[in-house]
């Protein structure tokens, strides 16, 4: 995540590395299983999109993943979760090293997700929106049997339209509110955010999923904001007209997705909370991480199946998470339900 303050308004730094990894290798980087490493943080909503899509499509072996720790400084994300504080494959302590390997004069955001070319140690791309689409469209030879079509041709125009609205007013809207430099800018972002959430709630009263009768890219993109809403955006970013848990339709929709294999089993609430409350020292100078909210309600029945639709269509759910990539139980609603604490 990277942002710049322009006057009183918040602007996201969108100067991404847009090189693509494609089946035909037209940008110089062909799809090759095991050649690349997807670097993420489970704290980051933009990176979490890639984590969800990778798991839904079954790309774990074809595209290995490195998980950075949830807290970073101005020098970038670190691999402090790994033994010795180095990624065991790339051999680096900070993601910044892979960006500088690509461009020694690199002066843009050191962001996740990033895909690194292992042989050269260089970042290929950090264009988070294109990364997930390319996982669906360019990595098809390595999808698992039964993988869902997250970007079906007949629905792409509608998916793109929904994604544009959700990105502007919800995904980025919470940041516009949280990092606003004036009361006026904050209230404008706040109003747009909740107006959009109200419209999405109305849409989802008629349909189990945002577009069509199965999970698509649109659901992935909305989910990663909704799952963080009550833990960080409601209080930390002052998006406090309502909690997600007070918006019945969106709350049931979010629980439905959370309980779908590939979504909730990728979420680490401890990393989410520690990142926002410890990194954003301008918002939370005391560095106090909230003890709540209670996570166990994420496991409550959602009742959305009555609307029809099947999450994977004619496909199948992904299998169990590998032990190497499993989120610690204490960082999950299951841990909360068993009395664990996120501290």
Structure confidence by residue, pLDDT tens digits, 299-340:
999 999 999 999 999 999 999 999 999 999 999 999 877 765
User: Residue 119's CB: how many other CB atoms inside 10 A?
Assistant: 9
Alpha carbons 33 and 221: distance in angstroms, whole number: 25
Characterize 183-219 residue by residue with b for buried, 16 or more Cβ atoms within 10 angstroms of its Cβ, and e for exposed.
eebbebbbebbbebbeebbeebeeebbbbbebbbbbb
Q: What phi and psi, each to the nearest 5 degrees, are found at residue 337?
A: -65, -25
Residues whose CB falls within 8 Å of the CB of residue 74, separated by 6 or more in sequence, listed in order: none
> What pLDDT, on a 0 to 100 scale, did the predictor assign at position 1?
45
Match 């998980």 to its residue by tokens: 67
Task: Report the candidate in 264, 262, 275 with the shortest Cα–Cα distance to residue 233.
Answer: 275
Low-confidence residues of the chain: pLDDT under 50? 1-7, 341-343
Helix axes 183-204, 156-166, angle to 10 degrees: 150
Give the 3-state secondary structure percentages of the chain, helix then strand then coil, rounded to 5. 45, 10, 50
> What pLDDT, on a 0 to 100 scale, did the predictor assign at position 7?
44
> What pLDDT, on a 0 to 100 scale, did the predictor assign at position 75?
81
> What pLDDT, on a 0 to 100 scale, did the predictor assign at position 337?
73
Alpha carbons 37 and 29: distance in angstroms, whole number: 13
Catalytic residues: 44, 175
> What pLDDT, on a 0 to 100 scale, did the predictor assign at position 2?
45
Residues whose CB falls within 8 Å of the CB of residue 17, separated by 6 or more in sequence, listed in order: 102, 108, 123, 124, 125, 126, 127
Task: Report the candidate in 229, 197, 228 with the shortest Cα–Cα distance to residue 210.
Answer: 197
């Amino acid at each position: 995540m990277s942002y710049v303050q322009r006057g009183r308004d918040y602007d996201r730094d969108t100067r991404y590395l847009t090189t693509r990894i494609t089946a035909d290798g037209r940008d110089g980087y062909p799809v090759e299983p095991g050649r690349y490493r997807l670097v993420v943080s489970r704290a980051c909503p933009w990176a979490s999109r890639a984590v969800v899509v990778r798991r839904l499509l079954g790309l774990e072996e074809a595209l290995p993943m490195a998980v950075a720790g949830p807290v970073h400084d101005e020098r970038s994300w670190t691999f402090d979760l790994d033994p010795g504080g180095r990624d065991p494959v790339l051999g680096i302590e900070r993601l910044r090293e892979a960006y500088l390997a690509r461009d020694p004069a690199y002066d843009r955001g050191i962001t996740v997700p990033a895909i690194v070319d292992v042989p050269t140690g260089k970042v290929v791309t950090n264009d988070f929106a294109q990364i997930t689409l390319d996982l669906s469209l360019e990595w098809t030879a390595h999808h698992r049997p039964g993988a869902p079509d997250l970007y079906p041709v007949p629905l792409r125009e509608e998916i793109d339209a929904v994604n544009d609205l959700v990105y502007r007013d919800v995904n980025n809207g919470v940041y516009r509110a949280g990092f606003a430099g004036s009361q006026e800018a904050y209230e404008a972002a706040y109003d747009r955010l909740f107006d959009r959430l109200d419209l999405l709630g109305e849409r989802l009263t008629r349909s189990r999923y945002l577009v069509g009768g199965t999970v698509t890219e649109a659901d992935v993109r909305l989910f990663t904001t909704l799952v963080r809403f009550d833990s960080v955006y409601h209080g930390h970013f002052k998006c406090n007209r309502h909690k997600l848990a007070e918006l019945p339709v969106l709350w049931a929709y979010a629980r439905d997705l959370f309980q779908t294999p590939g979504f909730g089993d990728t979420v680490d609430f401890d990393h989410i909370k520690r990142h926002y409350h410890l990194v954003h020292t301008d918002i939370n100078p005391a560095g106090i991480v909230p003890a709540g909210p209670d996570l166990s309600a994420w496991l409550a029945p959602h009742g959305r199946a009555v609307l029809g639709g099947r999450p994977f269509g004619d496909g199948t759910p992904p299998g169990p998470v590998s032990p190497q990539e499993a989120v610690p139980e204490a960082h999950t609603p299951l841990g909360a339900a068993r009395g664990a604490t996120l501290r």
